Amino acid sequence: MTEGQRPDGRIVTGKLVRMGADEDAFDREFWRAVPPEKRVLYLWDMVLDALAVQGNHDAGKQGLQRSVGHIRRP
């Protein structure tokens, strides 16, 4: 595994994994090392990146889906 710090202060980690090997081990190691409160922030960044790739320019305005219903009793 290699690790380095970018000029903007972010730390970048990478690893070469051969096909057929435990390909998911790197991901498990990475996410286990990240504190739970930071995982949420990282995951939200990935959601915003995915929305931007899809062309959603209002990606920063996304939130939880809210559904409203009404029940009337006879």
Digit-by-digit pLDDT tens for the chain (74 residues) are 556 666 777 777 777 877 777 778 888 888 898 898 899 988 888 888 888 888 876 655 666 667 777 778 87
Residue 64 lies in a domain: no
Residue 22 lies in a domain: yes
Residue 4, SS3 per DSSP: strand
Residue 11 lies in a domain: yes
Domain count, the chain: 1
**Phi, psi for residue 57 in degrees, rounded to 5:** -85, -10
Domain that holds residue 34: 2-57
pLDDT of residue 23: 76
Exposure string for 32-53, b = 16+ CB within 10 A, e = fewer: eeeeeeeeeeeeeeeeeeebee
pLDDT of residue 64: 66
pLDDT of residue 74: 78
Residue 72 lies in a domain: no
Residue 10 lies in a domain: yes
Residue 28 lies in a domain: yes
Cα–Cα dist 37/17, whole Å? 28
Residue 50 lies in a domain: yes
User: For the whole model, what pTM was predicted?
Assistant: 0.52
Cα–Cα dist 14/2, whole Å? 5
Residue 12 lies in a domain: yes
